[in-house]
Amino acid sequence: MRKDLISMEDLEKNEIQEYLTMAEKVEAMPLEERVKLLPGRIMAAMFFEPSTRTRLSFESAMHRLGGSVIGFAAKDATSVAKGESFTDTIHTVESYSDILVIRHPGEGTARLAAQESYLPVINAGDGANQHPTQTLLDLYTIRKDLGKIEGLKVAFVGDLKYSRTVHSLIRALMKFNVTDFTLVAPETLRLPEYFMHSDEPGRFRFHETERIEVAIQECDVLYMTRIQRERFPDLVEYEKVKDSYVLTAEMLSEAKDHLRVLHPLPRVNEIAYDVDNTKFAGYFPQARNGVIMRQAILLKHLGVTL
């Protein structure tokens, strides 16, 4: 059993399936049973970057398992603002809790924390690198909504260069025999080449286009992303691409009947509000699945079996 959850690159397919099975078991359990599972256990939520869903769904997940939560939602409220180092912060908080959930703008920080700490460390997003708990809930949502993951055609739209949610999910989908990807991004925000490489040349097809219409017609899952202002070294570049793609209800008239539009959220304006009332909108149920998957993750990494 792995101590930490840091990157989808680390996980074999069967390990990913264990999280999905655990989440199914959690969801089937009545709330009054779930709340007996982690009494007296403490989760530390250490958020060095803004968050609504990831932090609050982790906190809700822990409370609803009967555990409790300590933590911070911004580094300004901690001794980091006084100059304390990241590793000293980890060594302090580890003596107050049983599991560390960490979000940080620096790539590789979750791995560093995992090496430093004897506690389980869960990566809640490290810069533009990885966001494995989001990927697990995305996979859970896709399987629930479409009945399977294998063989689906998946399109990613928006900021494919900096989106850690995309980087994590593509890697996981490749392990689930998803071989057909459509990538819709402005030239400056294309998916880094590295993600398209595999040990089996020719097995995976990446169709890169700047036209979202192509993705809408062909795909089973349309994974929208926000253009992430905070990741741009130069804000002039952000201004040039910020409104590149805006999905509207009308554009979806060409979609397959079962198409699901997913988004890790927050949206800025890449999905028009009129999409919310269509049968294609899957992003709010996706966010709700966050609590279930994060309960599964907390249980697994705190050694509880169901």
**Which residues are at the interface with ligand NCD (CB under 6 A)?**
53-54, 125, 131, 134, 164-165, 226, 228, 264-265
- Closer by beta carbon to ligand NCD, 144 or else 294: 294
The reply, when asked if residue 119 is annotated as ligand binding, is no
- Closest approach, Cβ 11 to ligand NCD, in A, equals 18
For residue 58, CA distances in Å to 50, 204, 217 come to 14, 34, 35
Longest CA–CA span in the chain (Å) reads: 55
- Closer by beta carbon to ligand NCD, 64 or else 131: 131
The reply, when asked if residue 264 is annotated as ligand binding, is no
What would the two tokens of residue 59 be? 């906190």
Distance in angstroms (rounded) separating the CA atoms of residues 131 and 150: 21
CA R_g for the chain: 19
Residues contacting residue 102 through CB under 8 Å, at least 6 positions apart = 46, 47, 48, 109, 110, 113, 121, 122, 123, 124, 126
CA angle 223, 121, 86 (to 5 degrees): 100
Residues 47 and 124 sit within 8 Å (Cβ to Cβ)? yes
Q: Which amino acid is at 298?
A: L
Distance in angstroms (rounded) separating the CA atoms of residues 188 and 238: 10
- Closer by beta carbon to ligand NCD, 90 or else 262: 262
- Closer by beta carbon to ligand NCD, 131 or else 301: 131
The reply, when asked if residue 53 is annotated as ligand binding, is yes
State the DSSP string of 183-251: EE--GGGPPPGGGG--SSTTS-EEEEES-HHHHHHH-SEEEE----GGG-S-HHHHHHHTTS--B-TGG
The reply, when asked if residue 131 is annotated as ligand binding, is yes
The reply, when asked if residue 109 is annotated as ligand binding, is no
- Closest approach, Cβ 95 to ligand NCD, in A, equals 28
- Closest approach, Cβ 199 to ligand NCD, in A, equals 27
- Closer by beta carbon to ligand NCD, 37 or else 189: 189
The reply, when asked if residue 226 is annotated as ligand binding, is yes
- Closest approach, Cβ 190 to ligand NCD, in A, equals 17
The reply, when asked if residue 258 is annotated as ligand binding, is no
The reply, when asked if residue 54 is annotated as ligand binding, is yes
- Closest approach, Cβ 22 to ligand NCD, in A, equals 20
φ, ψ (nearest 5 deg) of residue 13: -55, -40
- Closer by beta carbon to ligand NCD, 52 or else 188: 52
- Closer by beta carbon to ligand NCD, 57 or else 89: 57
φ, ψ (nearest 5 deg) of residue 171: -60, -45
- Closest approach, Cβ 165 to ligand NCD, in A, equals 5
- Closest approach, Cβ 25 to ligand NCD, in A, equals 24
Binding annotation for L-aspartate: 82, 164, 226
Binding annotation for carbamoyl phosphate: 53-54, 103, 131, 134, 265-266
Binding annotation: 53-54, 82, 103, 131, 134, 164, 226, 265-266
